[in-house]
Structure 1
Amino acid sequence: MNRIEEKLAKLKEKKEKAFITYMTAGLPDMEGTKEIIRIQEQAGTDIIELGIPFSDPAADGPIIQQASFESIQKGTNLTKVFNMLEDLRKDCEIPIVFMMYYNTVFHYGLERFVEKCIQIGVDGLIIPDLPYEAQGDLAKFLDKKGAPILIQLVAPVSKKRIPMILKNARGFVYCVSSMGVTGQDATFHKDVVEYLHTVKEISNIPVMMGFGIRTAKDVDGVRDTIDGAIVGSHFIKLMKESDYNLEEIKNYCSNFKKELNQY
């Protein structure tokens, strides 16, 4: 088991839901990124999705698109993120998932990329523009010891494909709760409850719900079905509006985690 699986196993033992955040690497700068990750670990965030800035983040709405643009303008690239994480891993063990687009991986070189992830301590990958049928070239390098887990995404329109997608899935399944891009303010798909039940029945791994979540209250209707919640665009907005104030970030994460598990 890697850090993701170990963390989720511990949460299952404690009967706790997982709280996962998304943040863009390089904001407010590389040192600030490290501080935000560390403060989240202290606050009780369970897993962090670290967005690797990309020029055309097709799965993301305007808030994350803008964050990605601003980070690129500051000179953020994959090599700099690897260097930052290598330094962070000296004193930080929180599970980290790279959320990125396939062109970045392909350009770096598939085998070279996986080897670097193993060396640095990247625990998982989310690649929204890499469909299940096209994962083979990368997957053959992910069999190595210490390699990151490729997290699978499913959506309300994936119904017939879910058994295939989740057959050998590891870590957790990322359930997209709305159609379209990220950051849609809890406008969930009309059949989201039935859809999440379907995923839960099929999946052998924890089921996480993402897209449009702002507060723990947003998942009240599916709390008994899901194993955790993912907050992205709202978290990016909160950090920016507070000028990346660490105390506000810590309070938000701590409160969300507590409220998510008050039942």
Structure 2
Amino acid sequence: MNRIKELFKRKQNDILSIYFTAGFPKLEDTCAVIRELQNKGVDLIEVGIPFSDPMADGLVIQESSMQALKNGMNLRILFQQLANIRKDVHIPLIMMGYLNPIMQYGFDTFCKDCKAVGVDGMIIPDLPFKDYLDEYKAIADKYDLRIIMLITPATSDERIRLIDAHTDGFIYMVSSASTTGTQTNFDQEKQSYFKRIKAMKLNNPQLIGFGISNKSTLAAALQNASGAIVGSKFVAILGESKDIKSAVEELLKSLSE
């Protein structure tokens, strides 16, 4: 069974997913970050593919992408780095990136290489749902990979039901239509959005991301979904910490105090 499916079968609540940019702060840090996050009890990891024009990302992740690209990170190197990751990493790994670098690499080749190194799925924020249905889903299914779709407060109930019917992993609930990393708390409008989705009783579990940065935003996410995704907060800490172990410890401390 796909590790994403296994995770949600085993654990329905309080799931913590962490995003980081591959090749940041240093090119060779990717696997060390993954191992340290697993060691500290993180449930799911999103490995960010650096891209020069990350339109959904805030400044922190944009800058980490630029640094990773300067360091020489690309998909070929990333797959080389991940070649032996499954010797000691057992939690689900998801690639997160924009369509452009994936298409340059070749989508079928990308999926084949994901499967070869033990990646379980992908999040492609700029992949249109129609294209996913018409073309990309069948290729991902061939390699037992899950493509995770995003929804926002502006997504209609009809579209959400359609996404729920045609995906099989989890649904990424973007907390707002803004870029990542721009919130310190969730206002009434966002709380209403969370409650609306919860009331729909979807088949797929949901994780809430964009703006999870402290104890209160984490608690709000965990109250309204199966779990939370933390990205910008960790990337910012990673860029400032003396080492990876300290960065992970500081992140978990910031989410619990």
User: What TM-score do you get using the length of structure 1 for normalisation?
Assistant: 0.90
Q: 1 CA distance for matches of 2:47 and 2:207?
A: 16
Work out whether residues 123 and 148 of structure 1, in 8 Å CA contact, stay in contact via their aligned partners in 2.
yes
**Aligned residue pair count:** 254
User: How far did 1:34 drift?
Assistant: 1.0
Identity across matched positions, percent: 36
Deviates more, 1:151-160 or 1:218-227: 218-227
Partner of residue 207, structure 1: 206
Partner of residue 162, structure 2: 164
Q: 2 CA distance for matches of 1:75 and 1:46?
A: 29
Q: 2 CA distance for matches of 1:206 and 1:224?
A: 13
User: What TM-score do you get using the length of structure 2 for normalisation?
Assistant: 0.91
User: How far did 1:86 drift?
Assistant: 1.0
Partner of residue 10, structure 1: 10
Q: For 1:116, which of 109, 113, 116 is the aligned residue?
A: 113
Q: 1 CA distance for matches of 2:187 and 2:151?
A: 13
Supply the AA of the counterpart residue of 1:7. Answer: L
Work out whether residues 46 and 94 of structure 1, in 8 Å CA contact, stay in contact via their aligned partners in 2.
yes
Matches within 5 A, 1:35-184: 35-135=32-132, 136-144=134-142, 146-160=143-157, 161-184=159-182
Supply the AA of the counterpart residue of 1:96. Answer: L
Work out whether residues 111 and 145 of structure 2, in 8 Å CA contact, stay in contact via their aligned partners in 1.
yes
2:220 maps to 1:247: no
Over aligned residues, Cα RMSD in angstroms?
Answer: 1.9
User: How far did 1:140 drift?
Assistant: 1.7
Deviations 1:80-107 (A, max 9, x none): 0111111222221221111101111211
Work out whether residues 159 and 195 of structure 1, in 8 Å CA contact, stay in contact via their aligned partners in 2.
no
Supply the AA of the counterpart residue of 1:2. Answer: N
Supply the AA of the counterpart residue of 2:32. Answer: E
Matches within 5 A, 1:182-221: 182-186=180-184, 188=186, 190-200=188-198, 201-221=200-220
Work out whether residues 178 and 188 of structure 1, in 8 Å CA contact, stay in contact via their aligned partners in 2.
no
User: How far did 1:242 drift?
Assistant: 0.9
User: How far did 1:256 drift?
Assistant: 6.7
Supply the AA of the counterpart residue of 1:36. Answer: V
Distance 1:192 1:81, change over 3 A: same
Q: 2 CA distance for matches of 1:103 and 1:11?
A: 34
Deviates more, 1:226-235 or 1:210-219: 210-219
Gaps of 5+ in 2: none
Work out whether residues 233 and 251 of structure 2, in 8 Å CA contact, stay in contact via their aligned partners in 1.
no
Q: 2 CA distance for matches of 1:118 and 1:207?
A: 24
User: How far did 1:186 drift?
Assistant: 2.9
Work out whether residues 25 and 67 of structure 2, in 8 Å CA contact, stay in contact via their aligned partners in 1.
no
